[in-house]
Amino acid sequence: MRFTKSRILALSFVVATTAATAHGNDHGLDARNFDTAVSPCQDFFEYANGGWLKSNPIPAEYSLWSLDSEINERNLSILRNILGNAAAHPGVPDSATQKIGDFYAAAMDETAIDKAGILPLKNDLATIAALKSPADVASLIGAWQARGEDVLFDFEAQPDLKDSIKDIAYAGQGGLGLPDRDYYLRDDAKSKTLRAQYQAHVARMLKLLGDADAKTEAAAVLALETRLARASLDRVALRDPANSYHIYTLKDADAKTPHFSWSGFFHNVGRDDVRSFSLAQPDFFVAADKALADAPVAQWQAYLRWRLIDADATYLGKDFVAADFDFHGRILRGAKQIQPRWKRAIRSADFAVGELLGQAYVAQVFPPEAKQRALVLVNNLKLAMHARIERLGWMSAATKQAAYAKLDTLVAKIGYPDKWRDYAKLEISRNSYVDNMRAATAFEARRQFAKFDHPVDRSEWDMTPQTVNAYYNPMGNEIVFPAAQLLPPYFDAKADDALNYGGIGSVIGHEMTHGFDDQGSQFDAKGNLADWWTKADRAEFEARTAKLVEQFNAYVPVDDLHINGKLTLGENIADLGGLLIAYDAFKLTPQGKSDAKIDGLTPDQRFFLAYAQTWRTAQRPEQVRLQVQSNEHAPAKFRTNGPVSDVPAFAHAFACKAGDAMQRPASTIVNIW
C-alpha cells in the first residue's frame, strides 16, 4: 500500500501553475482567447482569457482544465507510447525498459487485478484482526511505517534546518483521510455535509472489504481522525519552519511517547546508529500516543483497515476504484468521470519508476541546447532581481549584502538531473500491480532511511522531468525546472521576448522570489534557518507583506469563502515578485526597449497578456472550494488580477485610471521586492 506523503516541512515551494492552450495554437497570443467585451482595467483575467473560458469546457474526467492540463495531455501521449513500447518489448531483465514495461503491463492488466480481489491485502488484514492490545497496535503501526507506509505520521529525510549540509530524520503529524485538519473542525453546513459523505465513503469501502458492521466502524474512524485533527497544527502554523523543527534524542522521544518506541522504530528501519531526530510537531505525537493507550483496540482495527484500503483502492478491482473515485474525484473535486486506466497507470509509474521513465521522456522532448537557452534566461532574471534589490529604498545596506549573497549563490537545475536515480534494487514484475506499488514504496523508504545523518545529495530532484511544475528548495537555495515546464507555450524559441518573459520568465522569477518570501527569507545563502535581517528591515518587510495579506483576504472566489491571505502569502509574494522581476528583465531586451507593435499590441501589453494567459483556468466549484480551504495557492484568477493590480506599469500599458478595479489606490499598492 502507499499512503500519500505530504512533506513534513512545507518548504519546497512549487509554482503550481494552472492554466490550456487555446484552439491548438502553441505559439504566440491567440486573439480568440480574449473577451474584448470586458475592460482589461476591470478584470484582466477575463479580458485575457474570457474567450478561451467560453470555448474550453472542462473535460468530464477533470476537475479543472488549464494550460498545464493541455501540456500534461501531450506528455501523457508521449509517456503512453514509451510505456506501451516497453511493455511490448521489455528487453533484458532488470533493465530500465523491463522495469517500466512490466510495471505498466501489470497496471493495465485489469482482468488479473479484478480476479485477485483483495488477496493482495490478505496478510495485512489478518494481522489487523489479530491485534489484542495497545502494544500490538503500536507495533503494527511501527512496522507499516518502517516499510514506507505513512499510516499515522509522516516520516522522511530532509536537511537539518540549522545545518543544511546534512540530512536528518523528521517525523511529522499525519494520519488523516480528509485533505486538511480543518475539514474535521469546521462547523458550517457544507463542512458537516462533507464529513457525513466522508463517513459514508469509509463505510462503503469497509463493506467492500467484507466488514459486517461497516457503519459503526466508519463512525469510529471519523472519531479517531477528528481526535488527531484537533492535535494537528493548521496550515498557516505549518508555514513557520520553527514549528516543524524540534530535535529529540531517541531516549527523550521515547519519554514523550511512552506507548510508541522510537528506539525500536529506528532499529526496525535499520538505523540503530541514529541518536536524534526532529519530532516535528511534539504536541501531535503526545496526543497520538495517548490515543494509542486509551482508544479501544477495535477502533484502531477499524482505522487501520480503512487506512489500508484507502491507500490501495486505486490498485485493486473495479468496485474499489469506482468507490474511491466517487468520493475523491466526484465529491471532493467535482470530476464527472474517472480517467481512463492508462492515464492512472502513468500517474502510478511516475511515482514508482519516475526517473527511469524520465530518461526516455527527456530524450524525446528536451535536447541539451534547450537547457542552455533556459539557463541564459535564468541568468538574465538574476541580474534583474539584483538590480531590484539594489533599488529598494526600504532595505538597509547590511541586509542588502546578505540578500545579494543569497541571490548570487542560487542554483538553477534545468530540465533533468545530472545524475539519475539508481533503481537497481527495485524489483518489478508483471505479477501484481499492488505488489509493484508496495515494492516502490519500500524502495523509496529505504532510500530515505539511508540518508539520515549523512551529507545531503545536492544532485537529487524532488520532481520528475515529465512534471509540469517547478519548485524552490530553501535548504538547497535552488530553483528546479523540470523539462515539461520548459515547453511551449511557456518557453518557445519561436516566440517574441514579451511572450517568453511574460510566460516562463514570470515562473522563473516566481521561484527565485520564494527565496525571499515569508518562509524563504528565514533561510540564509547556505540554506540554514538563520536571521540575516536587521530588526528594522524585518519589521518593514512584515508591514509590507501584511498589506498583501489584507489584499488577498478580500478576494472571494466561490460562495462566501474568502482566500486566506496568510496561508497563501508565500505564493502571493512570489507571484508579485516574479512578475516584477520578469518585467524588468524584459525591459532590458531590444523588444522591451522599443514601442513596436505586433498584432496591434505594444510590447508591454504582450508581456502582461502572456502572463495572464499562462493562468487561464476553468475550475469546477468543488475544486475551487477544496483549493481555497486547503491549498497555499490562490485560484488562478486572483493570481492574475492580484499581482497586476499592484504593478504601475500594467496600468500604464492599458491606460487604466483611478477607480478602475485593476488600478489599486496608491496607498494600498504592495511593493516588496
555 or 26, which is more confident: 555
- Per-residue pLDDT at 16 exceeds 90: no
Residue 269 and residue 250: Cα distance in Å, rounded?
14
- Domain topology for 44-78+346-668: Collagenase (Catalytic Domain) (3.40.390)
Pair type for strands 411-415 and 13-14: unpaired
Q: How confident is the model at residue 370 (pLDDT cuts 50, 70, 90)?
A: confident
**DSSP class of 504:** I
- Per-residue pLDDT at 6 exceeds 50: no
Average pLDDT over residues 464-482: 97
488: alpha, beta or left, given left = phi > 0 and alpha = psi -120 to 50? beta
Closest alpha carbon to 144 in 113, 160, 123, 114: 123
Closest alpha carbon to 492 in 350, 344, 654, 377: 377
Cβ(534)–Cβ(492) under 8 Å? no
Average pLDDT over residues 159-174: 98
Closest alpha carbon to 650 in 638, 639, 664: 664
The three grid cell numbers given for residue 459, joined into one nine-digit string = 544532485
Q: How confident is the model at residue 369 (pLDDT cuts 50, 70, 90)?
A: confident
pLDDT in tens, 604-657: 999 999 999 999 999 999 999 999 999 999 999 999 999 999 999 999 999 999
Query: Taken in order 234, 238, 240, 242, is the CA torsion positive or negative?
Result: positive
Residue 625 and residue 622: Cα distance in Å, rounded?
5
Closest alpha carbon to 430 in 98, 76, 115: 98
pLDDT in tens, 423-450: 999 999 999 999 999 999 999 999 999 9
* Domain parsing of the chain, residue ranges: 44-78+346-668, 119-315
The three grid cell numbers given for residue 64, joined into one nine-digit string = 479543472
For 364-403, letters b (16+ CB in 10 Å) and e give ebbeeebbeebeebbebbbebbbebbeebeebeeebeebb
pLDDT, residue 14, reads 56
Q: How confident is the model at residue 12 (pLDDT cuts 50, 70, 90)?
A: low
Kindly list the distances between the CA atom of residue 463 and the CA atoms of 6, 123, 505, in Å, as whole numbers in the listed order.
Answer: 14, 33, 20
Cβ(329)–Cβ(64) under 8 Å? no
Helix (H) or strand (E) holding 171: strand 163-173
Closest alpha carbon to 69 in 324, 336, 339, 330: 339
pLDDT in tens, 181-224: 999 999 999 999 999 999 999 999 999 999 999 999 999 999 99
pLDDT in tens, 43-78: 999 999 999 999 999 999 999 999 999 999 999 999
Residue 258 and residue 180: Cα distance in Å, rounded?
27
CATH number of 119-315: 1.10.1380.10
- Per-residue pLDDT at 25 exceeds 50: no
The three grid cell numbers given for residue 554, joined into one nine-digit string = 478580500
- Per-residue pLDDT at 228 exceeds 90: yes
- Per-residue pLDDT at 26 exceeds 70: no
Residue 268 and residue 113: Cα distance in Å, rounded?
31
Compute CA 312 distance to the chain's CA centroid, rounded to the nearest angstrom: 21
For 648-671, letters b (16+ CB in 10 Å) and e give ebbbebbebeeebebbbeeeeebe
Average pLDDT over residues 223-251: 97
Q: How confident is the model at residue 493 (pLDDT cuts 50, 70, 90)?
A: confident
Q: How confident is the model at residue 327 (pLDDT cuts 50, 70, 90)?
A: very high
pTM of the predicted model as reported, rounded to 2 decimal places? 0.94
pLDDT, residue 22, reads 36
Helix (H) or strand (E) holding 217: helix 214-230
Helix (H) or strand (E) holding 170: strand 163-173
Average pLDDT over residues 472-485: 97
Helix (H) or strand (E) holding 144: helix 134-146
Cβ(480)–Cβ(413) under 8 Å? yes
pLDDT, residue 15, reads 53
Pair type for strands 478-482 and 411-415: parallel
Residue 632 and residue 560: Cα distance in Å, rounded?
18
- Per-residue pLDDT at 410 exceeds 70: yes
The three grid cell numbers given for residue 274, joined into one nine-digit string = 541514529
- DSSP string spanning 299-367? HHHHHHHHHHHHHHGGGS-HHHHHHHHIIIIIITT--SSPPPHHHHHHHHHHHHHHHHHHHHHHHHH--
Cβ(311)–Cβ(351) under 8 Å? no
Cβ(276)–Cβ(250) under 8 Å? yes
pLDDT, residue 30, reads 87
- DSSP string spanning 599-648? TTB-HHHHHHHHHHHHT-EEE-HHHHHHHHHH-SS--HHHHHHHHHTT-H
pLDDT, residue 5, reads 36
Closest alpha carbon to 386 in 516, 201, 281, 232: 516
3-state DSSP helix/strand/coil % of the chain, to nearest 5: 55, 10, 35
Kindly list the distances between the CA atom of residue 361 and the CA atoms of 106, 351, 375, 543, in Å, as whole numbers in the listed order.
Answer: 21, 15, 20, 46
Kindly list the distances between the CA atom of residue 487 and the CA atoms of 70, 76, 367, in Å, as whole numbers in the listed order.
Answer: 11, 14, 11
pLDDT, residue 21, reads 35
Average pLDDT, the chain: 95
Cβ(104)–Cβ(349) under 8 Å? yes
